[in-house]
Amino acid sequence: MSHANAALTPRARLRLARLIVEDGWPIRHAAVFFHVSWPTAKRWADRYAAMGEAGMQDRSSRPHRSPNRTQQALVKQIVGLRWRKRLGPVAIGGRLGMPASTVHAVLTRCRVNRLHHIDVRTGEQVRRYEHEYPGSMIHVDVKKLGNIPDGGGWRFVGRAQGGKNRAATPGTGRSKYRGVLVGTAFVHTVIDDHSRVAYAEIHEDEKAVTAIGVLRRAVSWFAARGVRVERVLSDNGSAYKSHAWRDACTELGITPKKTRPYRPQTNGKIERFHRTLADGWAFSRHYPTEAARRNALPGWLHHYNHHRPHTAIGNRSPITRLTNVPGQYT
């Protein structure tokens, strides 16, 4: 295959071959003129004489026969161990008595050298989905974060100084009853399945009344952007299993949905958003106080919704997938 520094591109090969075949140049003279070897010039001239202009294109370097290629039955065993057991090349090679390099070559050829598309628990291919339009489904969940003590947390000032800051800040540390952590921020998050547009609020608990309030305000926030919410997907937390949550969804005209128990993958979009939230906002820089971090959340959400490219939707910002946003015409 030709490359940036190749002496002969398909166009140059055609010129070389025509000089030899049609204009009668000696092969040696043409080779010197194009700065290639005599065998190279003859090969392109012979190919032009036999195939014409189509013969000047690159060909695959794959051999016609591969007598030493791994047998198909052995390939099935390798892929089976990789798919069901999630073993690496070294482990598979140890079981089958094969070099790890050969196993890796087989896995790469079969496109199972990486397992990001295979479910960890079942070994089955991950089934991805996306609802067809905004509001068809929203995901809700709660992200728990320890409040930042005055002076900064241990991630940026070190564990020793972070412990001193926490001990000196009122409302942080651990209570004397069962070691329960107090001073926790509960970030209630809502994300639209189709557009990935996100909404979030920070509260002091995750009770049903708080979750319902967040849902009402989120529905109003989406409605102001031309999105009517039809379904809401949540985990099996106590707030979302309550009768109050069910009644609030009925009042809002929303169908509540629950994930399968012990299957957070079902709510994977918001779980992945929590990781982005942590990296981009919660732990992205040094915050001297908890108030400073909370004040930074609205700005980060605006950046996420309006400016940050999202790889799952073609490197576009989430807000571009909404159709009735003021100032946006479709």
Give the pTM. 0.65
- What's the CA gap between 238 and 245, in Å, rounded? 10
pLDDT at 327: 56
Q: Kindly write down the DSSP assignment for every residue of 122-150, as one continuous string.
A: T-SBP-----SSTTS-EEEEEEEEEPPPT
Strand order through the sheet with 255-258: 198-203, 184-192, 138-146, 231-234, 255-258
In sign, the C-alpha dihedral spanning 208, 196, 257, 126 is: negative
Residue 178 has pLDDT above 90, yes or no: no
pLDDT band of residue 260 (cuts 50, 70, 90) is confident
- What's the CA gap between 107 and 116, in Å, rounded? 14
For residue 26, the cross-strand partners are: none
In 3D space, the residue among 313, 323, 144, 143 whose CA is nearest the CA of residue 222 turns out to be 323
pLDDT at 64: 83
For residue 121, the cross-strand partners are: none
- What's the CA gap between 249 and 9, in Å, rounded? 65
- What's the CA gap between 2 and 85, in Å, rounded? 41
pLDDT at 181: 43
- What's the CA gap between 69 and 246, in Å, rounded? 60
Residues 6+ apart with CB under 8 A from 134: 192, 194, 195, 197, 222, 227, 321, 322, 323
Q: Are 195 and 322 in contact (CB under 8 A)?
A: yes
pLDDT at 155: 85
CATH topology of domain 138-147+183-321: Nucleotidyltransferase; domain 5 (3.30.420)
For the stretch 191-209, pLDDT in tens is 999 999 999 999 999 999 9
Residue 127 has pLDDT above 70, yes or no: no
pLDDT at 162: 81
pLDDT at 190: 97
